[in-house]
């Protein structure tokens, strides 16, 4: 299921032109999720629209228990779908926090 879930999320990100989506398999280093998806938006509104599309897609596919953090924030929004966690960030926040290097040094 988590592979299908990851693919549905990537499809949603592509539909709304998320910038540079990256999927990191963290099964070997994490007990709380299997995949992390990191993508950027071009503005706060774009990040919000992307998150809404992801959440809508998850609901259409009967994925329950989805949690969202950072909806009132400016540059980082997190969608927790259990087996997949989606980080939607401004390009500045993405550069600053550099989650790709933190979770996968090969990136």
**pLDDT tens digits for 4-38?**
888 889 999 999 999 999 999 998 888 888 899 99
For residues 30-56, give the mean pLDDT.
Answer: 92
- Are the CB atoms for 73 and 88 separated by under 8 Å? no
Q: Residue ranges per domain, the chain?
A: 2-101
> pTM of the prediction?
0.90
For residues 95-107, give the mean pLDDT.
Answer: 83
* Superfamily (CATH) of domain 2-101: Beta Polymerase, domain 2 (3.30.460.10)
Range 25-30, long-range pairs (CB < 8 A, 24+ positions)? 26/103, 26/104, 29/103
């Amino acid at each position: 299921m988590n592979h299908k879930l990851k693919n549905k999320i990537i499809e949603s990100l592509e539909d709304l032109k998320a910038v540079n989506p990256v999927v990191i398999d963290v099964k070997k280093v994490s007990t709380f999720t299997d995949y992390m998806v990191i993508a950027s938006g071009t503005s706060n509104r774009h990040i919000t629209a992307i998150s809404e599309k992801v959440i809508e897609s998850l609901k259409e596919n009967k994925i329950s228990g989805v949690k969202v953090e950072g909806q009132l924030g400016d540059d980082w929004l997190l969608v927790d779908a259990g087996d997949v966690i989606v980080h939607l960030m401004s390009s500045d926040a993405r550069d600053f926090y550099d989650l790709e290097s933190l979770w996968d040094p090969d990136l």
